[in-house]
Chains A and B, each alone.
Chain A
Amino acid sequence: MWIEKYRPRSLDEVVNQKETVDGIKALLKTPATIPHFLFAGPPGTGKSTVALCVARQLMGESFRSLVLELNASDERGIGVVRERIKGFSQIIQTAPSGVQFGLVILDECDEMTRDAQTALRRIMETSSRTCRFILICNYQSGIIEPIQSRCSVFRFRRLEEAEAIEQLAKICKSEKIDAGPKVVERVFELSEGDLRRAINYLQVAATSTKGGKLDLTTLEKVMPEAQGELIREMLKLAVLGDFMKARDVMYELMGKHGVSGREIIRGANREVSRIPEATAERQAEIVRTLGECDFRLTQGANEDIQISAMLAQLSMIGRK
């Protein structure tokens, strides 16, 4: 995948997020005294990339064996924290580069349970001599205060259009794709500022072009059936009052595509403004319903019941 191929391999290659990267670089000048890091920012803005760059710089090329890379949203229970992280953090390692501590990269930390975070906080304290943490999250508010205060926080901002387009153009050039500025702009537009998604779009589009010429029509044609569209379809059906069909789409989303209830809500929140059937007044009501459902989902409830209840509510709004 191009997202791996064109992932910057050192901090110098990271072109955007200048202030953030400069700050990190300054800290890395004295590797022995670096703090724990907390990277926060929207998806596709380079948090994981920077974390990997830091790891590479500290540990050398063979960093993968010296770094514990965990995806907190996959492994977010307290058990993982207690067993894997604690075990890893207590081993004193020496990297070929001479660094005398281990490194734990925890991605999507805001998805971790509170209990797990509390356990993590303890470990960060007790193992500060043998281990450093890089925590990555989308929402800083999802991280408990005590952890935040133990880290240097770096915020990653959404990419400027110009920066992103520059990157995309660079990729086009090295892949020998002839894509006009309009096409690249459209790719960025579709990606909503998420560089990872933008690069993915570009790759998919490039795969289906013949002779390296990429135009707008090909681009629109090959777009993968995004779940966003299915979610919009579901919302639309619900707002039009067709509960049964909306529920069918919901089952398709959940059953076939493995989309979780919260992701449906999140997606629906994004799509609300794109439904012509929803007037401004209705939109407000829809968003309120979505919020209520989101709250109910956090109460440890059965997802398909909750989403169905939401759809029933929406279809009532639509009939008003």
Chain B
Amino acid sequence: MCKYVCPVASVVRYEPVYPPNKALIAHMILSGMINLKDEGENVARYAYLCTTCGLCSTPPWCGLDVRLWEIIEALRADLVDQGIILEPVKRVLKSASENRNPYGENLHARFSKVKHVFSDDADVVYFVGCTTSYRVPQIANAVIDVLSIAGLNFTLLKDEWCCGSPLIRLGLIDLAREHAEHNINALNDIGAKTVVFSCPGCYRTFKIDYERLGYKIKFEVKHVTEVVVDLLKSLKIRKKEDITATYHDPCHLGRHLGIFDAPRQILSVLGIQIREMQWRRENSRCCGAGGGMLITNSEVAYAAGRRRVEEALESGVKNLITACPFCRISLERASGGKIEVKDVMELLAESLEER
């Protein structure tokens, strides 16, 4: 059944792309039927054709204790260890080593488009993340506006590096450790008690992957929608009752971390009518951008995004809301202007009145 729900296989309809066959490929390597020395490039082709969205490993699509995204990440790490590194992965390796972000952007320009909120006495830190900082700073600025209007004493992390999510997804584990250590130390140094994320990829990395890499974090981590839900009563909101929208659950935020309701509650408080898609919540289909696909197979990611946009359009709405910078980029690019794509925090920021 898992074969049916793969967002990548729905686009690249080659038999080896389907989830059970990726697990089969891993099995064939482990059992010595194929070896990475001879077949590495061919294995890499399929190992990187996965958004690691996890839908295939979710009941009822899978009734076994198989987490394909973990198999895929381990496979990619093995490929990197063997020196089989795809060109786009090499570029990320270089960029993250030199500039501490996967995009080849200047480290020192990280917050150049983001409102500067630095406070020495705040123990709440908003970890912005690379994609939000460099590609969709409007989400960061919306988060900053909302948290500021809500009166929260918070700060950005001056020396923020990539959280390591794209590095882990692409198999660059050693470099991911470097980044994890740096970020944890930097946050500890400024006495962070709570770290807030608007990027589900960063959030998942801090919450799940750092521990898998062997690090313990002392501070609490939260997604911004969880934080904001508790602050909604204190905010003055101009309702957006004229908007009917559908909500796209980001894979990392929803399926991986179980946050489905907080973004919907925010939309509901904003007065927005939500028309749900058939594939939602635990069964949400990936926007195509996950698992490093935007970097390694951007055209496939784009096509998977178009499919998700079509599903949104089928629900008969003109607004597609999400809570992830990757999803926002992918869906907006795939929308072809047919539907307006926004992050829930942007909508909330637009609706707030200064207190």
Chain A partners chain B: no
List chain A positions with a Cβ less than 8 A from chain B.
none
